[in-house]
Structure 1
Amino acid sequence: MSSKVIQAMYTDDDVLMSAVKRVRQENHHIEEVYTPFPVHGLDKAMGLEPTRLAITAFMYGCVGLSVAISMMYFIMIVDWPQNIGGKPSFSFLENMPAFVPIMFEMTVFFAAHLMVITFYMRSKLWPFKEAENPDPRTTDDHFLMEVSVHGDEEVLKALLLETGATEIKVTEKH
């Protein structure tokens, strides 16, 4: 099923921000906004929900910490205990100060690497994926807002022109 979207091109991020607020105020649905750089506050202006990536980062860090503790306990206490520098080799708690850097590094390692994988999976950025950018100028110095057409197309075009759009194009979205 395909539907019509209007692509409005802007040349300034402040104009884009006020346009997004005005379009949302008029109860139109913004499909996507393409920008060459992150625009602060755009997600809130579009009405997007907050991301849950921080929660997943915490969970991945907990997994890394668990793996580090299990690995160190098995290697240094159970499997191959060694007397290194006079430290007792039979107690995990007595060796804890020596294990803290390893636990920290494994926590960061797991959180960082699993977050990258999660980001790529969530945003569907697979190797050799074709770009979905509708206009190559949005990677340089232009901003594009896609608004779905529900109702009178001409009224929506007039609204977008009022908000400062430099170009307007109607396309079919698949």
Structure 2
Amino acid sequence: MDRLKDKEENALIQLMNQYGDYLVRTALLLLKDYQTAEEVVQDTFVIAFEKMKQLEDPTKLKSWLTSITVNCCRSRMRKWSWKNVLLHLDNVDKEQVDESMLTPEEALIDFVWNQNLSEAIQKLDYKYREVITLYYFNELKINEIALYTKSKESTIKSRLKRARFMLKELLQKGDAVIDKRERTNKGTSQQ
């Protein structure tokens, strides 16, 4: 920590190696674009390096970096041109599962489920996507999310509840489409 406060470049590189992937994943889930997520994380490290002396408690480094990243993501989302760009979640690093233990059918079902969940999350408004990402993917507590987003805990709880409800509806609609296709295919195959 002292090396960072003394502006040692090697300490910054070590910090980037330690938290870079975590912060890119967070930004990617919030912004839906890998390149922009990387840019935000670069901005995060520049800001952190410049303001390192403001961090009083070294044990809160990870949460401080997360807070900077979330604020940088919010700033990007506020820009008009950014809101009008169609983005995709193609480059999300998905958690690796030992595929040798899955049958081909299970692997396909798992892939489709993850794809549907990712697409449903991306359809949420930013404020709901933000709480879902921080709560489930970053495993933060409600009070931590409230601190990072400068919101009340009750607001975070409400957004989380609303986001879960909207995700459930989006995923059920997706299931309805699959069910409809299955019925159509069964009807066609019986003829």
TM-score where L is the length of structure 1: 0.29
Which structure exhibits the higher relative contact order, with contacts defined as CA atoms closer than 8 Å and separated by 6 or more residues?
A: 1
TM-score where L is the length of structure 2: 0.26
> Would you tell me which structure has more strand in proportion to its own residues?
1
> Would you tell me which structure has more helix in proportion to its own residues?
2
Which one has a bigger Cα radius of gyration?
A: 1
